Amino acid sequence: MPAALPTSVSNAEPARPFGWIRAEPWGIHVVPCDAWVDPAREVATALVTHGHADHARGGHGRVFATPETLAIMQLRYGVGDDGGGEGVPVPLREPVDLGCGVTATYFPAGHVLGSAQILLEHRGERVVVTGDYKRRPDPTCELFEVVPCDIFITEATFGLPVFTHPPIGGEIAKLRDALAANPERCVALGAYALGKAQRVIAELRAAGHDDPIYLHGALEKMCALYEDHGVNLGELRPATGAKKDAMRGAIVVCPPAALNDRWSRRLPDPITAMASGWMRVRQRARQRNVELPLIISDHADWNELTATITEVNPRESWITHGREEALLRWCQLHQRRARALAMVGYEDEDD
């Protein structure tokens, strides 16, 4: 059975301001109730921002997350299954009492379906842990919401001035233009299995692409989960078993790793494309043998990171998992208190 939440503050709890929240190498520790935000190891109580593997995992005793994130974790990691821990659904904007005078409120992060920032409050002090986030509209999830706080714990995946993401409409147009110019070929689009694939499909539909889209088998269950949660992805067909001629002039969405493996040989002369913020770096596109790089990111770019810190206007910013030093330096140059966190387990996903 999972450990019960504490009902009284430990005598060892630090009394200094914000001593109740600690950045440990494997997660953000909420000391009074012994809960952890996005822990990289198994804990009794986890507060999870979203379903990507560098933030969510199985093995916890109890998991507080949005209903959508819990559904993703059940699909990916077995959370909620027999022996898979207890999932506690947390609706957005509704405070949850964690015990020991700590409340948690989840707000939209705009990253993927179900993604949330977590506002933690204790003794009048407010801390926001963003997880991953973006500021652009996304038809598959709620828009990021600015939440005032004292300490703002922000990601910095694209925390360098070189990373400025273009409007997604132009990138979707590139994809459609390539398809129209090569009707005897297909476009094999590499996209991260959770979030990116569904967003690109939804953006294609919004742009008027009504033709069937073919899916690699690894994407089928996650796309079905998105549709179960009200995200309309249009007609999707399995690529496995489809005839080569049927996929001419079509878009085939697959995990990035499938672009250059044996699976792609069944496709009709594919134009290899990849949707990622990392496609801004030409060397990454060349390393992946990507013919059509599409700069589509589910993370905030440099301008959005700095603008968000300015809007939130915290007493202090804590910067994690990414290009921490550049964003730290920006804060210092703008007379904003900040620190970089040395945390483990947060990886550069294919974004």
- Report domain 168-294's class: alpha beta
What is the per-residue pLDDT for 196? Answer: 98
What is the per-residue pLDDT for 275? Answer: 98
Distance of CA 29 to the CA centre of its chain: 20
The count of other CB atoms within 10 Å of the CB of residue 86 is 14
The count of other CB atoms within 10 Å of the CB of residue 259 is 21
Whole-model pTM: value is 0.92
What is the per-residue pLDDT for 1? Answer: 38
Q: How many CA atoms, within 13 angstroms, populate the side-chain half-sphere of residue 290?
A: 26
Q: CA-based angle 168:142:197, to the nearest 5?
A: 50
Topology annotation, domain 21-162+299-340:
Metallo-beta-lactamase; Chain A (3.60.15)
What is the per-residue pLDDT for 5? Answer: 46
Q: Which phi and psi angles does 329 have, rounded to 5°?
A: -65, -40
What is the per-residue pLDDT for 148? Answer: 98
What is the per-residue pLDDT for 7? Answer: 41
What Cα–Cα distance (Å) separates residue 94 from each residue in 42, 68, 141, 250?
26, 15, 18, 43
What is the per-residue pLDDT for 2? Answer: 39
Cβ pair 84, 78 in contact under 8 A = yes
Domain residues of the chain, as ranges?
A: 21-162+299-340, 168-294
Locus of tokens 């909420």: 30
Q: Which phi and psi angles does 312 have, rounded to 5°?
A: -65, -40
List, for residues 181-198, the tens digit of each pLDDT value: 999 999 999 999 999 999
Structure tokens at 66: 């949005």
- pLDDT tens-digit profile, the chain (351 residues): 334 444 434 444 445 789 999 999 899 999 999 999 999 999 999 999 999 999 999 999 999 999 999 999 999 998 877 667 899 999 999 999 999 999 999 999 999 999 999 999 999 999 999 999 999 999 999 999 999 999 999 999 999 999 999 999 999 999 999 999 999 999 999 999 999 999 999 999 999 999 999 999 999 999 999 999 999 999 999 999 999 999 999 999 999 999 989 999 999 999 999 999 999 998 988 988 999 999 999 999 999 999 999 999 999 999 998 789 999 999 999 999 999 997 765 555 557
What is the per-residue pLDDT for 82? Answer: 66
What is the per-residue pLDDT for 322? Answer: 79
Please enumerate in sequence order all residues whose Cβ is within 8 A of that of 25, keeping only pairs 6 or more positions apart, or say none.
Answer: 40, 342, 343, 344
Q: How far apart are CA 118 and CA 106, in angstroms?
A: 5
Structure tokens at 94: 């509704």
Cβ pair 216, 197 in contact under 8 A = no
